[in-house]
Amino acid sequence: MGSSISFPEVEISPERTYLITGGNSGIGYIAAREIARMGGHVIIACRNMVKADAAIKRMQEEYEEHLTSKQSPADISELKKLNIEKMELDLASFASTQRFIETFKARNCALDVLICNAGVVTDKEITEDNHELMLQVNFLSHFIITVHLLPILLKCGEDSRVMSMFWLNRHLKDKSVSIISLHPGFVDTQMTRQNIYSKYFVSGFAKKAVDGGATTIKAAVDPNLQGQSDIYLDLCKIKSPSSLSRLVKNCSMRESQ
């Protein structure tokens, strides 16, 4: 992995819980696997439980293969079971999103980092709630989850984080939780392979998912980002958001004055 897109390998306390939406595939899969390897408790929130089970099994197998290729048989005997579990969540349905929130709250478990990762790229599909599918999956349902789980995040000590692929900062910036927006780059995943516009460019230009996950992992685990808020990570580097999003932010600040 090149130095420009690397994340720090840290030891994570097993007490820290990372919730990743869409952790069964692509960038979310890599982030879930690497955070669990570092020791964190990971929950992947997925719409398809069969895919979720298969992903968890594969993460464990890849972890074991990785260790066997690097270590002596003595070290391998200490091989741990990754602490990853699944929960059901269909972001295209407000009913499912609400059920997920209630189930999560009922567990009474901690939440240190919420990674709003799941997403789709579609054209004009409409959900059962009468919203454009991409808007509901990528933005609205994540926003609802964030607002409902924020009290749990706020209770979880000094380093709680919410990460999103696009927005959020201006809505939550006064809270004592780090809000990190990020862009992973152009990454070879099921999303880019299936999209009618991007699929022709994937083989020549896209990063492998294993590198594309680096920005998400850095945002989730880098100790240097503790306490920072309203930041934007692009390919693992803190950058200024585009002029268009700065314009939206300025408009919103003027509205609130």
Ligand X SMILES: NC(=O)c1ccc[n+]([C@@H]2O[C@H](COP(=O)([O-])OP(=O)(O)OC[C@H]3O[C@@H](n4cnc5c(N)ncnc54)[C@H](OP(=O)(O)O)[C@@H]3O)[C@@H](O)[C@H]2O)c1
Return the number of the residue (91 or 156) whose C-beta is nearest ligand X: 91
**186, 231, 234, 245: residue in contact with ligand X (rule CB under 6 A):** 186
- The two structure tokens encoding residue 42: 């990971």
C-beta of 89 vs 156, nearer to ligand X: 89
Q: Which region among 31-39, 41-49, 104-112, 246-254 touches ligand X (by CB under 6 A)?
A: 41-49
Q: What single-letter amino acid sits at 212?
A: G
* Farthest CA pair distance, the chain: 64
Closer CB to ligand X, 24 or 169, in the complex: 24
Using the rule CB under 6 A, which residue among 37, 84, 104, 119 binds ligand X? 119
Choice between 67 and 120, CB closer to ligand X: 120
Tokens matching residue 186: 């152009």
Decide if 188 contacts 201 (C-beta within 8 A). no
Q: How far is the CB of 183 from ligand X (least distance, A)?
A: 6
Please report where in the chains the tokens 């503790």 appear, as a residue.
226
CA–CA gap between residue 196 and residue 242 (Å, rounded): 25
Residue of 8, 13, 31 lying closest to 163 (CA atoms):
31
Interaction between residue 22 and ligand X (CB under 6 A): yes
Q: Does 152 bind ligand X (CB under 6 A)?
A: no
Kindly give the residue spans of alpha helices, DSSP state H, lying in 107-242. Answer: 133-135, 141-155, 169-172, 190-194, 202-205, 209-212, 214-221
- Return d(Cα 182, Cα 241) in angstroms, integer: 9
Per-residue contact track with ligand X, 195 to 234, x per CB under 6 A?
A: ----------------------------------------
Binding-residue pattern over the window 65 to 94 for ligand X, x denoting contact by CB under 6 A: ------------------------xxxx--
Q: Is 51 in the site for ligand X (CB under 6 A)?
A: yes
Closest CA to 235 of 2, 3, 31, 5: 5
Among 5, 12, 17, 26, binds ligand X (CB under 6 A): 26
Q: By CB under 6 A, tell whether 19 contacts ligand X.
A: no
Least gap, CB of 119 to ligand X (angstroms):
2
CB 206 to ligand X: min, Å? 6
Shortest distance in whole angstroms from residue 14 CB to ligand X: 24
Which region, left, alpha or beta, applies to residue 168 given φ > 0 means left and ψ of -120 to 50 means alpha? left
Instruction: Note the Cα 239 to chain centre separation in Å.
Output: 19
Does residue number 5 form part of the binding site for ligand X (CB under 6 A)?
no
| Contact between 144 and 114 (Cβ < 8 Å) | no
Residue 2: φ, ψ to 5°: -70, 155
Applying CB under 6 A, the residues found at the interface with ligand X are: 21-22, 24-28, 46-48, 51, 89-92, 117-120, 137-138, 165, 183-184, 186-187, 189-192
